[in-house]
Structure 1
C-alpha cells in the first residue's frame, strides 16, 4: 500500500476534478491555503518594499514550500532567507538560487554540504557570523577547499539572541575574518524581534542607527568585500520601523537594504494580524498601499463528539495546528446533511487543545452535531505549516486543485 498523507483525497481526482472539502472527498483534518490570499499578500509586501526602497528576502522557514518561494520571487523578492542547512539544500534543489542563511553556519558536515553546494551550483549564498571562533572555523575550512564564502556579520542586543553586542566586538570579528581570503564580508545582519518592550519603536530605531554607524565605519576602513554592502534585518512585526530607520540614514545610498519578514505571505488571525494592525497605525505607507494582508490558512475538521450540550470535541489537535500563540478560531460550519454553510457564531470558542482533539464551547441550543465540519483560522502560521507535509490550495471555493509539498 502506498503512503497516505493526512488531508489527502483520491490522487487520480486531484488534477481532473479536485478534492471537494464540503463533499467530504478528503481525509480530515485538512489544511489549505487560499490562492487569492497568497497572491494578494505577495503583491502587497512587494509593493511595500518597492515604495520603502528596500529589497525582500522573505524568511522561508514559515512555509518551507518552494512553490510559495517561487511565487514570492515572481513578485520581486530578491532572495529567500532560511534557517538551517537542510532547508537551504531543499530550496536549491527546487530552483532557488539566491539564499541568505539567517543563522550561524556551524559544524563540519554543514561546512562540507555548503562547500559542495558552492562548488557544484551557481547559488549566491550568504550566512551570518557572530563569533571569532566560528569565523576561524569557517575560514580554515573554506580556505583549504579553495571556496569563497559570503558572510554577514551579525549584530545583536544585550540578553537577545545571536549577534555581537558592541562596536568593539564587531571590529574584532571583522579582523578575524580578514585573516582569511576565503571569507567575503558582504555586510551586516540583525534581528530586532527580540526587542519587546513598551519602548520598542525607540529602541529599534536606536539599534538600527547604531548598526548603520558601524557599517559606515567598516566601509571607511575598506572592510567590506563588496562595493555596495548588504544591511539586512526585520521580521514580520517591525519591518516598517526597520525600513524607515534604514532609509532615513544619511548614507542610505551606500548600502543594499534587505528585509526578511516571513509570515506576511500566509498571515493569520492572531499575533501577526495584531502586529500588522500596529504597523498600519505607525506607518502611513502601509495605509497607502491598496488592500491589506489577509489570513490565508484554514483547517477543516469534523465534530467527533458532543458528550455534553455546551461543548463539542473537534478532530483537530496539537499535531495539526499551532497552539503556542493562541488557539484556533472557528470561522465557518458546514452541515453535510443540509448542505448549509454558515459563519461560526461568536459564541464558539476553542478552550483547550490536546494531541488529536480540541474542545470547543458552544451554546447549548447549537445544532452542531457529530459529522458536521468546522473551519478554523489560526495564529502563528509557521507552527501549523510544519505539521503538514502536504497542504491543499483552494480558490474561493473549497475545492483543492493542487497541493503544496513542505520540506521541514
Structure 2
C-alpha cells in the first residue's frame, strides 16, 4: 500500500510484507469502483498510470488522502495527551492497509467484533487483538487455541459476560487441547443495552468463574457506553457518565483478583471517548484503552455531530469519505434520480448530503457548490437516490459529490476503494486503492 498517510514504516504489529503484497493483486470486473481500463493490471500497475477521478464511473465511494492523514495524526496526538491507549475498531474499515497505518501511528492493537474478522486480521499478521465480543463457537475456539499455541507473540483478549459463557469457552478450549490460556475481559453492560453483565455484583461473579477456569485468565474489564446513548445531549452524556462510573466500581471491586500485572480497562467508541478518558484515566494500576474506529474516515453526518473532537475536545476531524453519483433521470422539475442507492452508500444514520455538482466530462469536471441551494436526498432505493431542490444545477449526466454518514456501513459495500490526492482539487488523482475484506 502507498504509505501516503502512515506516520512510519516499521510494520510493527502487522505483517507489512503481506499488506504490501496487495499491490500485486490483479484487477478485473470484481471491483465495481474501477473502469475496464484497469482490468488485467495489478493495483500497482494501475496506480502507475496516474488515474484520475474523471476516469472512474458511478456509483462510487472514495477516500481523501489528506483527510485520512489529518485524522490519523489528530487522534494519535489526542490519545497521547489524554494518557489513554487506542485499539481502533477494525470492523469499521476491514482494511489491513488502514490498520497498518493506525498501528504505525501508535495504536496499541486492533479491536474486532467476530470470528471472521479475527481470521482476516490473523491472515495479515496482526499480533495484538481485542475481540469486543464473546467467542463461543467451538471450532473457532479450537482455531484460536492453535493460533495462540503456534505464535507466542500473539496477544489476544476476548470478552465474557456470564458464568455460562465462561463454562462453554472452557469446555471448548479443553476439548481443543489449548496450551496457552485465553485472556478475557469481564464485560459490564447496562439496562436495555447490548451484551454485558447488568450489575457490578453479577460481573464480579463472572470474574470469579473466570478465575476457576484453567483455560482462561482474568485480564481486565470492558464495555461499550455507546449502546446507552445516541446523542450528545445532557441526558445522553449523563447516561454515559453513570455507566462509566459503574465500570469504575467494577474495577475497584476486582482489585487483587486480576491475573495480569497490568489489567485492561476498556470502553470508548467514536462518540464518547473523551468522557471515557475523563472517568477512567485516573487508574494508575490499569491500561485504559479506547476503541474508536470511525475517527479515521469520520463523516459528514452522525460523527460530524457527535464526535468529541467536534464538540470542543480537540482539533476537529475531517470527513475522508465521499460518495459520487450521476443524475440518470429528471422526470419532474423538483426530482432527479441518481445512480447510487442502498447497495452503494450508507443510509442507516442519515441520508447522503449533496455537496457539489460536476457537469461535463465525468466526475473530474469543474465543481459547483450546492451549499445553500436546498438540495437534499429524501430517500434511497436499492440502486437510486431521490434528489430534490437542485433544479437546473443537476441536469441529466451531472455527477454529484455526496457527504456520507456512518463509515461502518459505507466501507462494507466496497471491496476496493480509490484514495484521491485532494477531493477538493479541480482534477483529483487516484493515489491509492484500499482493499477491504467483509
The correspondence for 1:173, drawn from 178, 198, 206, is: 206
The correspondence for 1:103, drawn from 129, 133, 158, is: 133
Name the SS of the counterpart of 1:254 in structure 2: coil
Unaligned segments of structure 2, at least 5 residues: 1-26
Is this contact kept in 2: 1:329–1:376, CA < 8 A? Answer: yes
Is this contact kept in 2: 1:18–1:402, CA < 8 A? Answer: no
The correspondence for 2:332, drawn from 308, 332, 357, is: 308
Name the SS of the counterpart of 2:289 in structure 1: strand
Residue number in structure 2 paired with 1:261: 292
Is this contact kept in 1: 2:114–2:133, CA < 8 A? Answer: yes
| Whole-Å separation in 1 of the counterparts to 2:226 and 2:183 | 24
| Whole-Å separation in 2 of the counterparts to 1:275 and 1:363 | 28
Q: TM-score, normalised by structure 2?
A: 0.86
Matched, 1:18 2:54: no
The correspondence for 1:75, drawn from 97, 105, 108, is: 105
- Displacement over 6 Å in runs of 4+: none
Matched, 1:361 2:385: no
Matched, 1:382 2:408: yes
Is this contact kept in 2: 1:14–1:400, CA < 8 A? Answer: no
Name the SS of the counterpart of 1:386 in structure 2: helix
Residue number in structure 2 paired with 1:298: 322
Greater displacement, 117-126 / 28-37: 117-126
Greater displacement, 79-88 / 342-351: 342-351
1:131-210 residue pairs with structure 2 within 5 A?
131-143=162-174, 144-196=177-229, 198-210=234-246
Matched, 1:90 2:123: no
The offset of 1:367, in angstroms, is 4.1
The correspondence for 2:147, drawn from 83, 103, 117, is: 117
Matched, 1:62 2:88: no
Name the SS of the counterpart of 2:326 in structure 1: strand
Relative to 1, partners in 2 of residues 1:280 and 1:16: Cα closer, same or farther, differing over 3 Å?
Answer: closer
| Whole-Å separation in 1 of the counterparts to 2:390 and 2:383 | 23
Residue number in structure 1 paired with 2:434: 404
Unaligned segments of structure 1, at least 5 residues: none
| Whole-Å separation in 2 of the counterparts to 1:64 and 1:178 | 33
Name the SS of the counterpart of 1:333 in structure 2: strand
The structure carrying a bigger strand percent of its residues is 1
Residue number in structure 1 paired with 2:341: 317
Is this contact kept in 2: 1:334–1:340, CA < 8 A? Answer: yes
Alignment: residue pair count:
393
The offset of 1:14, in angstroms, is 2.0
| Whole-Å separation in 1 of the counterparts to 2:59 and 2:361 | 19
| Whole-Å separation in 1 of the counterparts to 2:147 and 2:201 | 33
| Whole-Å separation in 1 of the counterparts to 2:103 and 2:224 | 22
The offset of 1:373, in angstroms, is 1.0
| Whole-Å separation in 2 of the counterparts to 1:21 and 1:309 | 29
The offset of 1:118, in angstroms, is 1.3
The offset of 1:321, in angstroms, is 0.5
Is this contact kept in 2: 1:300–1:374, CA < 8 A? Answer: yes
Is this contact kept in 1: 2:62–2:321, CA < 8 A? Answer: yes
The offset of 1:140, in angstroms, is 2.4
Residue number in structure 1 paired with 2:352: 328
